[in-house]
Amino acid sequence: MFRGFYTASSGMIAQQRRTEMLSNNIANANTPGYKADQSTVRSFPNMLLSSIQKSGNATVKNNFNTLNTNVIGTVGTGVYMQETIPDFSQGQITESGLNTDVALVAENLPVRPDTNEEGAIFFRLKTESGEAYTRNGNFTLDSQGALVSSTGDYVLSTDGNPIFLQSDNFQVTEDGRVKENNVQIAQIDVAYTDTPNTLKKQDNGLFYTDNGQALASAYGNEDVVFAMQQGYVEQSNVDAASTMTEMMTAYRSFEANQKMLQAYDRSMDKAVNEIGKV
């Protein structure tokens, strides 16, 4: 009986956390460069149930009864949401009309044979917490003329320095070269990793490495093919329709576990207040 309480409660907690994650995806459906989170729900180890009975035949030597063990089966002990993993697939590229917007388009990224995971590319940023990475190309110029992200962080060039411009009348080529009056000022750096799931996702669509080491540059890697489009921005890759469907499924699962918990509670109430009086 008490095991049923724990099993139903763990299911409610897991579905509540899934609902919170899906709600966050919906809230960022219009955030440029946002990568939707995906959840993995796993079950706790099952318990083996067996019945042990005396055989009724005493041994001659020790005068002990032997025991017979009959396996009944396994019983579940609940589930939990193990982790959330971002989906790094390409979002839709839309025209913004702003000269400072730059969309990063992944045309071909290698797949690791051991994990079957596709790599990911990012803009490289300089933040107060160190180097960060983002797919949000909704850039602008600050008061000093530096090219910054929507969070106000410096967009870094291939030499690791911020990019300073005279005005927003500049051009960005497909390979990331920033030109002003037909003179190259810098080249927007692009970071690449073949293990994107090891990155730590923070607020505002920023990613950080787990060990604090900087990611390698995508330039010079012949297997990584990408391009930049000025005046365009990458939209969120959240599928609003499927996310709403998943939210309804999570809510129904939460409701089913809730009703099961209420049924256990009524059974315990009868066991204590009615059967206990007999």
Predicted confidence (pLDDT) at residue 63 exceeds the cutoff of 70: no
Q: Among 175, 151, 150, 180, which residue's Cα sits nearest to residue 164?
A: 180
Compute the average pLDDT of residues 237-265. 91
229 and 92 part of one domain: yes
Contact 199/193 with Cβ under 8 angstroms? yes
For residue 33, what pLDDT is reported? 93
98 dihedral zone (left: phi>0; alpha: psi -120 to 50; beta)? beta
108 and 205 part of one domain: yes
218 and 106 part of one domain: yes
Range of the domain at 257: 2-83+239-277
For residue 110, what pLDDT is reported? 92
Q: CB neighbours (10 Å) of residue 20? A: 13
Q: CB neighbours (10 Å) of residue 267? A: 12
Q: What helix, strand, coil percent values describe the chain, rounded to 5? A: 25, 40, 35
In the Cβ-directed half-sphere of 225, how many Cα atoms lie within 13 Å? 5
Compute the average pLDDT of residues 81-93. 90
Total domains, the chain: 2
Predicted confidence (pLDDT) at residue 174 exceeds the cutoff of 80: yes
- Please, which pLDDT band fits residue 6 given cuts at 50, 70 and 90? confident
- Please, which pLDDT band fits residue 34 given cuts at 50, 70 and 90? very high
| Lowest mean pLDDT segment, chosen from 42-46, 214-218, 257-261 | 42-46
DSSP-assigned beta bridge partners for residue 107? none
Q: Which residue has the higher pLDDT, 54 or 23?
A: 23
267 and 225 part of one domain: no
55 and 8 part of one domain: yes
For residue 8, what pLDDT is reported? 85
74 and 96 part of one domain: no
205 and 171 part of one domain: yes
DSSP symbol at 87: -
Predicted confidence (pLDDT) at residue 21 exceeds the cutoff of 90: yes
30 and 12 part of one domain: yes
pTM metric for this prediction: 0.80
